[in-house]
Structure 1
């Protein structure tokens, strides 16, 4: 058996394949490169793709259109970027973006050759012109003289530029001197890491020895299009035809074709990555040779042999590994050789049920055939074994051979004496499924219901379970029991000895790859290797201890598959030993396609999360987007972590600072979306963890700003707040003003009532009292001179006093109301005409123009009082023959005109009024109170025209404000009548 240190054979390496079915843009691979971040870049006939171990990503949405053409070559720079040559363009991928390098001359010129320069740039040949990059620009470099069409070029580590034109190989030294070597037909140049230069014509390989190119005898293939020297010095050659692939290491040459698993015999490009895996580009897909954690060995050379499925494994004291099959006999692996034993050696074609140590070769239990041990050159059946389905043979240090027979119980063969041992009750119904010896040499037996420990005389129950026990392991001081319904764990096996409590049951629901646990084995670090029918997994000591102690309720084991070196991760669900820990500490497994051993290996590499791109709604953006337009968007973050080791088991956790309060476990998902985020600044962070649960804690981040609409900005909110405050202040001010106006209105109502009382007293009480006074004076004179006349005057005075009393009573009644609230202005003016008429004259006419409308009662009362005074003057004092009242309604005002043809008023009286009289002054006061304009046009003997103009307004307090000013203006005036 080869080991990794001695360079395993190609057929023992893990060969994985990717095609268009897994996302490769096209199966014809033309170029390969790996950047320092771990991504593999693949050039095909249909463009460029980046591979993270799980997904291929194209650049249709965020790359130049030329990247969808045939990719000629990919070359690493000295930083974290890469040079890309397509058929019509040159590009530099740096800092996550593609920079187009302008090639002078024809825009459709083809690139003939490309090679890496020592400074991290590239040399290119286009249109038979040699150029090199300086930064991201090209500068022309003269070709050596007599150099024809350039076929290939290469700059070695000494800075020498090698050029071949099919006729010569030219070496351009650092001092620009030229050395020419005559090698016709050379098409390919290559230099390895040690500085050795190779040249090839497609059929022969030459190596430069310092003076000339010498033929390399038997390098591998007879024709080739690419070659590579790996880190061990092995020479790889790609045929580019019908010969596949070859590798020469030392004096050994291996070849692989489609018969050995290659996707195609036409191999075009080779690459060794940072993990020392070798990638192969063929015309039928991308492949990789991987140094797996496991090395697998087949039992039979027949790939389709179903009877040779492995179902048991065993290590003998001399270090030989034995494997049993379903019906194909057994195999011994020792000293790099495999030896098969079958019918020819006396073993019947039955299912191998286990092995036990018996001398130079183990005793072998074969289903219902019995137990066989080697005697001479043949295996023979041990005669004392009872007939039945024999299972789980085990040899103990005292020379005893223990085994069980289905439905017959447990037996011990010692010194040729067979004994039946009771385990469980009743004996005949108890199925002994498992026998093992722990680190202290104690014998244990597992049945359908319990795990029991041998005391030297009998078995004592240690663990009771509701499910059949299939295996057990003793990691350190703990205990792990495999059952058909999960793994039962105790962190301290001493509690089992003292029967202290039940263990913690770990099933698929808590993270196991399956609940049917066939076998469990502990390694030197007390990790648990767990076997289920469909998987092999490893659970770290830290995790299973935490679960057993109740510190966690979920585990994340490492799960292994074909990419780790397993020929199959399926294990036959049969009741025998399928996993062992050998004396050198390695763990061996029996799988359906042979046996597999865990090689000493380094921990899985630490993985680094990478933010791939950001998508806003349906718009695909790069990972460096910083600003997003306003609105409700669906923002998608895509992230990954390049890895060659179990990339599908890499786990992620993320958070969006500014939105998420804590980290969110995304499992193996590589995309997350957010919808309805409010405007603001956010930072997306994602951290990757390898399958061993180890992370470097370094997050990939992307800071972005979701812009607000203008009404979502701070200044707008501040302005809105100020506006709301202003509105609140204004509403409060107006409400306060309205309240003040109402109070003022009430005050003015009272003032108006006082004026009305004064008016009533002026026209009634005072006038009557003056008349009474005159009558009394006249009566005094008459009593002395005309007694008869005095009697008549006294009677007249009495009547006058009674009339005054009646008028005063009427005045008191009128003090309790205004002009009558339910009447309109027209109605109350008609009532005034009836009030003043004492005879048929004067004639009275009332007309209206415009659309009559309701008038505020207080305004109406003031107008009524003004008009009443004017009518009173016309009826009682002006001796008019005709009186006319016109009311003219306009949209925002109305006008009242009172015209009579009476005696009129002189100018002095109009300006000053008459002493002791209130009429004209009162009319002016009433007009000012309601903000009206009062005009009196009169001349002696020509009648009087009184015009009152009143504006109406929707703001109820404005006229009263003017009225209040009128009140203040008139509060100090002496009121007089006409």
Structure 2
């Protein structure tokens, strides 16, 4: 008997059509705490999450946490947050267990309010449970002792109390659990005593009305309410702590108990698809308006059906966020998923691991038939989730012939036929049994059916593994064999009938044309020397006939072939390959939609082809496909609905082509951070940022501040936000837009004074761009010597000097003229005297010659002495080189640690180097470091030997294995050894260290810490280079404000590449004194990442040599690459 199961079926609202992509965020992703109490998207587009461990802002890339600090009255009042709301003045109100905080989003500053004994306009109680904003902009605050209306226009938080019972009075005490301001301006309050209605009366008075939730029950006691929702129809939904869900029709004042026994109802929310979600203590639920019942949400591997759900919120991009108690935050994305998926294991009770689907068929009852290789045939009712499994049963002659199913087709009379190993099976829908058909009584490979086609005359045609063609007359239940084989080696993949009634058959190495009337092959083409139609060597798979009659052929390795006829009627094949836009040349099956577009399943996703424009559009698992690799023969098209199905390694992808379109949501672009010298700027009156980064429109920098500055930004589209793209341009500096890809930050250095405009454009995951984007005016002030007043003063001073010098020269010439006249007289007298002096000078010259000869001999003696000293110095330096080479890790040590999976590019500027690398082990951790000491040559070498000795002590002796601790200890040792606290010297080093630890699951745990140096790495199969910045700390430099070195942990898959480097490669100049730069280093590493490590080293050395041609090496260069 068939096995029927529905125990684990997916249960989601039908409007989502199985198109969900669910992601989970916990403290591991940066969330401050895993208990999420409330969710908000602010007016700028940022997501805010209230947790019991602080407030979190999320921009699609990272979380920013706001936490209370003990003794700081200017920050958050408490970390245990119950609810948050944004008012019309862009301030977030935060209800906590110890009072109320208000965060000004423009300034980033907090105002706090708490209950003050004896102060009537203070908060009535510190435990704030609920918040709400009415149409007038007033913020209402629900506490354990009544509700308060805040005066929002006042800088100081003042409140007017309602439903408040002071201690010692006879008034009822009200615990406020929910506040709802409806579309009519009425305020509804959920209390521990039931539902209250607050209305404003003439003269500013307020009236209260109690709404009993069960008016027909005399013994009903008021229920404590936690959530209230007004839906799009104006109805009021009320969730209580005892698990009841009520529906209030306000027009008739009628209360209905909609559901009970739900466990505690914590939140109610209606999304843009009009689905009402119910968050309960026992999971996420939704309201089925058709059945008037509450459904429990179930999606495999999410656990949302049995964990406590505290809150829900849908953002502007269509993502539903779900906050839980202890399980973090769920991100339910229905936008980026363009395809529905059906996975066999999601529907079965048995531990079935096989999800490969070998064949697909949909019957008239919207039920899918799915073929498997080992587990028979699955019959899935898509409406109910019920699945029936048909298998071979040895004792049941009405079961399948074999559990290995291959193809499934529907004959002209509507009967369903299944190909299994051994023969054909006809399904009897009434009895849910199969009638067996055998070509021969005894099974043989030669008669094993591989391909099946139903013709228009209610006959089935099939090919076998033995290369034969058979016909089954369904009415007569009789097989007949064609007079000739179809010509081919082994099985055929497909049969199709063309407009002339000729069968086209694709074999392993051939295409055969078969005339069913003549029962003979009329044409046969294969890949050989006499191939006249252009058939290529790889196997043709499916031959597909479009509605126009055009034939298309998929191949396993040669792409897509189009059958083109010439004037003589002879056909040839025209091929489309990866060069034309296909994702791969390994293709399987083709379907045609109502717009005459071809959809092709491949070994790398699904491709859409427009035969008119000859353009391809490709889809991958990132678009919601269950897998990359699909299966041959696993496809189906419903011509009525135009729905298509392709089966593969992990189930079935189902879609209606007209609904597969880009997400048209244009992401908002916001500035999230601005940094000077890699330090975030905190807004203040004297800082470049007067407001928070996202509210900043203009930044003014001094000449000194503009040395290095960075912008960080975010596209606030949260559907597949990791695929958002960015472009930037600094107008006035950049000549064209810079494409950053997924990187959401950019750094500028050495920008000249002037006025610029920084622009950012961003796109969502489907390439829909916000071309208006972000615009920030940037003003860089000139240095004092570049100001107009300095230039004017300098010009005036120069003119004064020129004029003064001119007058001075005129007077000097006059004086010279007088002196010359007097000199002529004197010279005449002196001529006689000079004659006598010449004789005396000759004698002096002879004496000077003798002295010069003696000096020359002395110089030669000194030169000889200098030569000897230079020789000894060179010998000492060579000895220092030998010592330095001895302390570096030997090749054998690197081999033991990394085998051949490393390279070392080491180029000292002088004989000895200030750069060195270090390798050590602590337990099962390998510790590798690259260190850049102050200076190069002999001073650098001395520092490297000091550093090497200290590292041996810190790691090998003290067994320190955390890179951050190693660098911190090295800071202490350097300061002590070099007596920096007494001398104030700043000699030291920059460094990058990693600790590698192999995990049991073949992954590697990598801990990184850097002092002024980053870590670069490339994941397997990735086309991007990821960067982790080092800490802004240099070893040996004493900072006024305490700076620490942080450690970063990565869990990486096998064959991840890591690169550790000093700054020598980056800072090397070319002949025009242009630095090689970090961007070029990144590009060079990406370019060689697919090569072996030895080849990487060779290519990088060549790249550096070409860049340095015509100039000298500037600094020591050290770069190490490691594959783990």
Is the shorter-chain TM-score for this pair beyond 0.5, marking a shared fold?
A: yes
- Cα deviation code 1:120-167 (max 9, x no counterpart): 442124675723243464443242574534423333222223345534
CA gap 1:691/1:143 in 2 versus in 1, 3 angstroms: closer
The unaligned stretches of length 5 or more in structure 1 are 550-554, 761-810, 828-978
Residue in structure 2 matching 1:342, options 385, 391, 416: 391
Structure 1 residue aligned with 2:451: 392
CA gap 1:720/1:418 in 2 versus in 1, 3 angstroms: farther
CA gap 1:383/1:489 in 2 versus in 1, 3 angstroms: closer
Instruction: Report matched runs for 1:454-603 at 5 Å.
Output: 457-459=522-524, 462-471=533-542, 482-485=554-557, 487-488=559-560, 503-506=575-578, 516-525=586-595, 529-533=599-603, 536-539=605-608, 541=610, 557-561=618-622, 564=624, 568-569=626-627, 571=629, 574-578=631-635, 580=637, 582-599=639-656, 601=659, 603=662
Checking the alignment, whether the CA contact within 8 Å between 1:527 and 1:538 is kept in structure 2 is no
Q: Distance in 2 between matches of 1:479 and 1:236?
A: 49
CA gap 1:302/1:729 in 2 versus in 1, 3 angstroms: farther
Checking the alignment, whether the CA contact within 8 Å between 1:432 and 1:447 is kept in structure 2 is yes
Residue in structure 1 matching 2:226, options 180, 183, 188: 188
Q: Distance in 1 between matches of 2:498 and 2:725?
A: 36
CA gap 1:22/1:135 in 2 versus in 1, 3 angstroms: same
- Cα deviation code 1:206-229 (max 9, x no counterpart): 444558774515346143233345
**1:607 aligns to 2:660 (yes or no):** no
- Cα deviation code 1:389-442 (max 9, x no counterpart): 643323344666454444x4463537643237677xxx5547644445689988
CA gap 1:488/1:370 in 2 versus in 1, 3 angstroms: same
Residue in structure 1 matching 2:81, options 71, 75, 78: 71
Residue in structure 2 matching 1:19, options 26, 34, 37: 26
**1:287 aligns to 2:330 (yes or no):** yes
State the 1:818 CA deviation: 8.1
Structure 2 residue aligned with 1:710: 784
Q: Distance in 2 between matches of 1:430 and 1:707?
A: 79
Checking the alignment, whether the CA contact within 8 Å between 1:608 and 1:687 is kept in structure 2 is no
Q: Distance in 2 between matches of 1:270 and 1:136?
A: 31
Structure 2 residue aligned with 1:50: 57
Structure 1 residue aligned with 2:360: 313
Q: Distance in 2 between matches of 1:136 and 1:466?
A: 81
**1:100 aligns to 2:118 (yes or no):** no
Checking the alignment, whether the CA contact within 8 Å between 2:138 and 2:149 is kept in structure 1 is no
Give the secondary structure class of the aligned counterpart of 1:575.
strand
Q: Distance in 1 between matches of 2:784 and 2:551?
A: 66
Checking the alignment, whether the CA contact within 8 Å between 2:309 and 2:323 is kept in structure 1 is yes
RMSD (Å), alpha carbons: 5.0
Q: Distance in 2 between matches of 1:736 and 1:557?
A: 85
Residue in structure 2 matching 1:151, options 176, 196, 213: 176
State the 1:587 CA deviation: 1.9
Give the secondary structure class of the aligned counterpart of 1:458.
strand
Q: Distance in 2 between matches of 1:496 and 1:130?
A: 90
Structure 1 residue aligned with 2:341: 296
Structure 1 residue aligned with 2:434: 378
Structure 2 residue aligned with 1:636: 710
Checking the alignment, whether the CA contact within 8 Å between 2:422 and 2:438 is kept in structure 1 is no
Residue in structure 2 matching 1:132, options 150, 171, 175: 150
CA gap 1:662/1:496 in 2 versus in 1, 3 angstroms: farther
Checking the alignment, whether the CA contact within 8 Å between 1:297 and 1:594 is kept in structure 2 is yes
Residue in structure 2 matching 1:689, options 739, 757, 763: 763
CA gap 1:571/1:206 in 2 versus in 1, 3 angstroms: same
CA gap 1:525/1:69 in 2 versus in 1, 3 angstroms: farther
State the 1:579 CA deviation: 6.0
Residue in structure 2 matching 1:365, options 419, 435, 459: 419
Give the secondary structure class of the aligned counterpart of 1:576.
strand
- Cα deviation code 1:253-298 (max 9, x no counterpart): 3225899842552222233445666432211122255545433334
Checking the alignment, whether the CA contact within 8 Å between 2:190 and 2:228 is kept in structure 1 is no
Q: Distance in 2 between matches of 1:236 and 1:438?
A: 52
Q: Distance in 1 between matches of 2:568 and 2:260?
A: 64
CA gap 1:588/1:660 in 2 versus in 1, 3 angstroms: same
Checking the alignment, whether the CA contact within 8 Å between 2:674 and 2:710 is kept in structure 1 is yes
Checking the alignment, whether the CA contact within 8 Å between 2:563 and 2:571 is kept in structure 1 is no
State the 1:452 CA deviation: 6.9
Q: Distance in 2 between matches of 1:482 and 1:371?
A: 26
Give the secondary structure class of the aligned counterpart of 2:76.
helix
Checking the alignment, whether the CA contact within 8 Å between 1:329 and 1:343 is kept in structure 2 is yes
Structure 2 residue aligned with 1:111: 128
CA gap 1:664/1:5 in 2 versus in 1, 3 angstroms: same
Structure 1 residue aligned with 2:95: 85
**1:178 aligns to 2:238 (yes or no):** no
Aligned pair count?
Answer: 747
- Cα deviation code 1:60-86 (max 9, x no counterpart): 799974288222212244587754334
Kindly name which structure, 1 or 2, has the bigger radius of gyration based on alpha carbons.
1
Structure 2 residue aligned with 1:141: 160
**1:411 aligns to 2:469 (yes or no):** yes
CA gap 1:577/1:189 in 2 versus in 1, 3 angstroms: closer
Instruction: Report matched runs for 1:701-780 at 5 Å.
Output: 701-713=775-787, 716=790, 752-753=823-824
State the 1:31 CA deviation: 0.5
Q: Distance in 2 between matches of 1:121 and 1:513?
A: 56
State the 1:305 CA deviation: 0.9
Q: Distance in 1 between matches of 2:59 and 2:208?
A: 44
Structure 1 residue aligned with 2:743: 669
Q: Distance in 1 between matches of 2:787 and 2:571?
A: 68
TM-score (norm 1): 0.64
Q: Distance in 2 between matches of 1:650 and 1:523?
A: 30
CA gap 1:60/1:114 in 2 versus in 1, 3 angstroms: closer
State the 1:356 CA deviation: 3.4
Checking the alignment, whether the CA contact within 8 Å between 1:513 and 1:559 is kept in structure 2 is no
Q: Distance in 1 between matches of 2:210 and 2:57?
A: 39
TM-score (norm 2): 0.57
State the 1:324 CA deviation: 1.0
Q: Distance in 2 between matches of 1:327 and 1:419?
A: 31
CA gap 1:245/1:354 in 2 versus in 1, 3 angstroms: same
Structure 2 residue aligned with 1:160: 186
Structure 2 residue aligned with 1:651: 725
Checking the alignment, whether the CA contact within 8 Å between 1:199 and 1:213 is kept in structure 2 is no
Of 286-295 and 454-463, more deviation after overlay is shown by: 454-463
State the 1:468 CA deviation: 3.2
Instruction: Report matched runs for 1:348-359 at 5 Å.
Output: 348-358=401-411, 359=413
CA gap 1:5/1:303 in 2 versus in 1, 3 angstroms: closer
**1:327 aligns to 2:374 (yes or no):** yes
- Cα deviation code 1:157-211 (max 9, x no counterpart): 2222334553464432121342342753433351313433444541144444558
Give the secondary structure class of the aligned counterpart of 1:134.
coil
CA gap 1:56/1:748 in 2 versus in 1, 3 angstroms: closer
